[in-house]
């Protein structure tokens, strides 16, 4: 079986496990969250090896270089061979104050409790 010369972008994104379903990939493409070589595309756009795909997932961009074309969803190890992940590492996380929880039924925080909560969150 020979490898195709091009594959629809929505099928490829689903096959390499970027999106869980093909309809989720199509919805993301329609919403403008997917770009190929810097240009917004339609779901019927055909990708070829060497193209660069940018997919916005959960507020972050994944940059993928197309290595192999897949028509069907495959296992994760085979899917990882079909693309080159060029996504830069995320910036280091800053310290985030822990979320203050109160016991159920404890009522509203007192003035003293509010001051302690504000101090934990980095307020005055």
Give the pLDDT confidence of 26-68 residue by residue, as tens digits. 999 999 999 999 999 999 999 999 999 999 998 889 999 999 9
Q: Across the chain, what does the average pLDDT equal?
A: 88
- Beta bridge partners of residue 52, listed in sequence order: 65
| CB distance 86 to 64 below 8 Å | yes
Question: What is the Cα–Cα distance from 11 to 78, expressed in whole angstroms?
Answer: 15
pLDDT computed for residue 72 by the predictor: 92
Task: Label the pairing between strands 39-40 and 7-8.
Answer: unpaired
Q: Is the pLDDT of residue 17 over 70?
A: yes
pLDDT computed for residue 124 by the predictor: 61
Going from the C-alpha of 53 to that of each of 23, 25, 36, 50, the distances in angstroms are 18, 13, 5, 10
Question: What is the Cα–Cα distance from 121 to 9, expressed in whole angstroms?
Answer: 44
Question: What is the Cα–Cα distance from 23 to 10, expressed in whole angstroms?
Answer: 8
């Amino acid at each position: 079986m020979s490898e195709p010369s091009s594959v629809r972008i929505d099928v490829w994104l689903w096959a390499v496990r970027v999106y869980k379903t093909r309809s989720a990939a199509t919805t993301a493409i329609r919403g403008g969250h997917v770009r190929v070589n810097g240009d917004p595309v339609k779901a019927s756009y055909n990708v070829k090896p060497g193209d660069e795909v940018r997919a916005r997932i959960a507020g972050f961009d994944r940059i993928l270089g197309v290595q192999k074309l897949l028509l069907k969803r495959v296992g994760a190890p085979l899917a990882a061979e079909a693309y080159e992940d060029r996504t830069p590492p995320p910036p280091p996380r800053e310290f985030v104050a822990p979320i203050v929880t109160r016991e159920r039924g404890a009522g509203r925080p007192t003035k003293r409790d509010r001051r302690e909560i504000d101090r934990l969150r980095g307020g005055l």
